[in-house]
């Protein structure tokens, strides 16, 4: 996804120094990362080793270090997390104090935090056939109230596995990009034309007023072509009202999720109270499902008309869209198909726009890297060439720049897993059913795993240097069967 958007009609001035960027205020980045100035790195202590060394005994769960619970610690926690908006700030200081593992208790939930890539690998390789992660309670609440299909993001166990198997052959294979490349190029051309128009209208300010919003528009239109097999209409003149409502509701959905997730009353009262914020969230969630169902219904009518004409939409010479593929599955209901299409939107829209925003930021700060990237694009595509499936594999520096940007400013600062069996991490026994927080942000900015970790150096990810980096030290899309659904179209 990103590769297409960055390289259609390349220009030297495509990435001017950005002066008015702000992080996307959405749930997946509820702990917003700061781009510049980059803070000084803190080395982690050695109070706990990555593994049991010299045949030493495994230490019990109770011995895992962590912050003391008292009023002073609560005040300190609130201060260091910038009012609960920057949890990773506190985690960095706790790793520096306690070593590569610590535990704490937040709102009655005990959680173990890890930052060693060796431990990351152990957790992911122990997750089994049905990986489990902590649910987003507010999302579960909405689907329960509406008695609607939970979606692959919220499901666990065998039901999750059934749904995942139905979509993985389409979404998780590299060919998904090739099959959608023409749509991606078309959306990218429309987006760049709009960027040029907006920039020209800025006059002496020389910047796009709402770059964040424009990138969100681009990513929604792009991912929409994959999820719903149609253009949403955000680049029409005038834009389709339904498409504008959809993008507005998606943004509100994530922003209200963050607000409710960080609200102490919302976290302590079950069931959730129908506060004004809760009512707005439920309406946004309902509108998203309703609009999505409209796209699914349209496709079903289209497929019915095609079938009546005796045409096989999945014939050997046809490129089958994701929506057609899902609707042709006998075991999936239209509701399940819509829920999965919405999950594709959730997995791709904010992650794509956020990744683009921060990459443009880094390139704006470092014109020599921007120039090197430009030269690669011109060499591979020409000055006005479209991206093809073959050319994607030749844009190695572009991929390195994206990977480095996502290391410094990840969409997801941490990941979570709940294992069904005990596991030893950093020499401590972690009982089954414990919530394990895999702190990606802290590991990616540690001197222990990256030389000069706060510097933007795409060369780290070039083929000749990859052996110097732990394979599990930078997991932007997760790992294993529960990795991000949008990995192929975002990277």
Read off the pLDDT of residues 243-264 as tens digits, 9 standing for 90 and up.
Answer: 999 999 998 998 898 888 776 5
Q: How far is the C-alpha of 197 from the C-alpha of 189, rounded, in Å?
A: 12
- Given a contact cutoff of 8 angstroms between Cβ atoms, the answer to whether 221 and 187 are in contact is yes
Per-residue pLDDT tens over the stretch 337-358: 888 888 888 777 888 898 999 9
Maximum mean pLDDT: which of 34-38, 106-110, 312-316: 106-110
Length of the chain counted residue by residue:
491
Per-residue pLDDT tens over the stretch 120-138: 999 999 998 888 888 888 8
**Stronger pLDDT, 388 or 235, i.e. the higher one:** 235
**Stronger pLDDT, 6 or 207, i.e. the higher one:** 207
The domain tally of the chain equals: 1
Phi then psi for 139, rounded to 5 degrees? -70, -40
- Of all residues in the chain, the percent with pLDDT exceeding 70 is 78
Confidence check: pLDDT of 55 > 70: no
pLDDT score recorded for residue 333: 84
Taking all residues of the chain, what is their mean pLDDT, rounded to a whole number? Answer: 80
The boundaries of the domain holding residue 131 are 2-490
pLDDT score recorded for residue 368: 97
Confidence check: pLDDT of 240 > 60: yes
pLDDT score recorded for residue 81: 65
**Stronger pLDDT, 286 or 319, i.e. the higher one:** 286
pLDDT score recorded for residue 7: 35
Q: Residue 131, class by beta-carbon neighbours within 10 Å (0-12 exposed, 13-18 middle, 19+ buried)?
A: buried
DSSP 8-state code for residue 54: T
- Given a contact cutoff of 8 angstroms between Cβ atoms, the answer to whether 491 and 477 are in contact is yes
Per-residue pLDDT tens over the stretch 132-156: 888 888 899 999 999 988 888 888 8
Confidence check: pLDDT of 159 > 50: yes
pLDDT score recorded for residue 350: 80
Q: What is the DSSP pairing of strand 415-418 with strand 435-438?
A: antiparallel
Distance (Å) of CA 141 to CA 149, 271, 347: 12, 8, 19
pLDDT band at 43 (very low <50, low <70, confident <90, very high): very low
**Stronger pLDDT, 234 or 75, i.e. the higher one:** 234
- Of all residues in the chain, the percent with pLDDT exceeding 90 is 39
Distance (Å) of CA 261 to CA 107, 269, 284, 331: 12, 12, 16, 34
Q: What is the DSSP pairing of strand 415-418 with strand 109-114?
A: unpaired
**Stronger pLDDT, 459 or 202, i.e. the higher one:** 459
Q: What is the DSSP pairing of strand 435-438 with strand 428-430?
A: unpaired
Confidence check: pLDDT of 48 > 60: no
CA neighbor of 27 nearest in space, from 252, 361, 243, 244 = 252
pLDDT score recorded for residue 403: 94
Q: Which residues pair with 435 in a beta bridge?
A: 111, 418
- Given a contact cutoff of 8 angstroms between Cβ atoms, the answer to whether 453 and 170 are in contact is no
Q: How far is the C-alpha of 297 from the C-alpha of 240, rounded, in Å?
A: 18
Helix spans in 262-333 (H): 264-268, 276-308, 322-327
CA neighbor of 474 nearest in space, from 455, 454, 450 = 450
Maximum mean pLDDT: which of 110-124, 145-159, 465-479: 110-124
pLDDT score recorded for residue 335: 86
Residue position matching structure tokens 């020599």 = 368
Confidence check: pLDDT of 289 > 60: yes
**Stronger pLDDT, 131 or 83, i.e. the higher one:** 131
Q: How far is the C-alpha of 320 from the C-alpha of 173, rounded, in Å?
A: 14
Q: Which two tokens stand for residue 216?
A: 């969100």
| Cα dihedral 154→157→162→168 (10° resolution) | 60
Confidence check: pLDDT of 439 > 90: yes
Q: How far is the C-alpha of 491 from the C-alpha of 158, rounded, in Å?
A: 29
Per-residue pLDDT tens over the stretch 170-195: 776 667 777 788 889 999 999 999 99
Mean pLDDT in residue range 456-480? 87
Confidence check: pLDDT of 28 > 50: no
Distance (Å) of CA 85 to CA 32, 138, 177, 212, 413: 7, 18, 35, 19, 12
Q: How far is the C-alpha of 397 from the C-alpha of 404, rounded, in Å?
A: 10
Q: How far is the C-alpha of 396 from the C-alpha of 491, rounded, in Å?
A: 12
pLDDT score recorded for residue 157: 87
**Stronger pLDDT, 16 or 111, i.e. the higher one:** 111
Confidence check: pLDDT of 44 > 50: no
CATH number at residue 469: 1.10.630.10
């Amino acid at each position: 996804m990103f590769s297409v958007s960055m390289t259609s009609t390349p220009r030297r001035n495509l990435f001017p120094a950005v002066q008015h960027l702000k992080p996307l205020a959405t749930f997946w980045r509820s702990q917003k990362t700061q781009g510049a100035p980059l803070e000084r790195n803190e080395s982690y202590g050695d109070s706990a080793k990555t593994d049991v060394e010299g045949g030493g005994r495994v230490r019990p769960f109770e011995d895992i270090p962590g912050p003391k619970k008292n009023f002073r610690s609560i005040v300190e926690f609130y201060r260091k997390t910038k009012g609960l908006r920057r949890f990773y700030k506190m985690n960095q200081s706790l790793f520096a104090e306690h070593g590569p593992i610590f535990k704490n208790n937040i709102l009655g939930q005990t959680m173990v935090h890890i930052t060693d890539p060796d431990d990351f690998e152990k957790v992911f390789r122990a997750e089994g056939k049905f990986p489990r992660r902590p649910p987003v309670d507010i999302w579960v609440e909405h689907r329960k109230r509406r008695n609607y299909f939970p979606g692959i993001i919220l499901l666990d166990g065998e039901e999750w596995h059934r749904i995942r198997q139905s979509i993985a052959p389409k979404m998780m294979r590299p060919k998904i990009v090739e099959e959608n490349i023409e749509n991606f190029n078309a959306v990218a051309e429309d987006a760049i034309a709009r960027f040029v128009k907006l920039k020209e209208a800025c006059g002496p300010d020389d910047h796009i007023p709402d770059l964040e919003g424009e990138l969100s528009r681009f990513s929604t239109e792009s991912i929409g072509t994959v999820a719903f097999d149609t253009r949403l209409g955000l680049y029409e003149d005038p834009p389709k009202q339904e498409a504008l409502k959809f993008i507005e509701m998606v943004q509100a959905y994530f922003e209200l999720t963050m607000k409710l997730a960080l609200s102490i009353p919302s976290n302590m009262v079950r069931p959730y109270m129908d506060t004004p914020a809760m009512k707005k969230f439920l309406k946004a969630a309902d509108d998203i499902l309703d609009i999505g169902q409209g796209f699914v219904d349209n496709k079903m009518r289209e497929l019915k008309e095609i079938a009546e004409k005796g045409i096989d939409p999945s014939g050997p010479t046809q490129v089958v869209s994701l929506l057609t593929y899902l609707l042709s599955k006998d075991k999936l209901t239209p509701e399940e198909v819509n829920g999965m299409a919405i999950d594709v939107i959730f997995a791709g829209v904010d992650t794509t726009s956020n990744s683009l925003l921060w990459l443009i930021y880094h390139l704006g700060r470092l014109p020599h890297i921007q120039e090197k990237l430009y030269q690669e694009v011109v060499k591979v595509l020409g000055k006005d060439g479209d991206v093809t499936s073959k050319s994607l594999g030749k844009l190695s520096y572009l991929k390195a720049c994206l990977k480095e940007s996502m290391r410094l400013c990840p969409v997801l600062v941490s990941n979570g897993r709940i294992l069904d069996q005990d596991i030893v991490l950093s020499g401590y026994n972690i009982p089954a059913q414990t919530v394990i927080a895999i702190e990606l942000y802290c590991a990616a900015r540690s001197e222990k795993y990256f030389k000069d970790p706060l510097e933007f150096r795409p060369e780290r990810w070039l083929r000749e240097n990859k052996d110097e980096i732990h394979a599990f030290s930078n997991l932007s899309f997760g790992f294993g069967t529960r990795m991000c659904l949008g990995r192929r179209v975002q990277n």
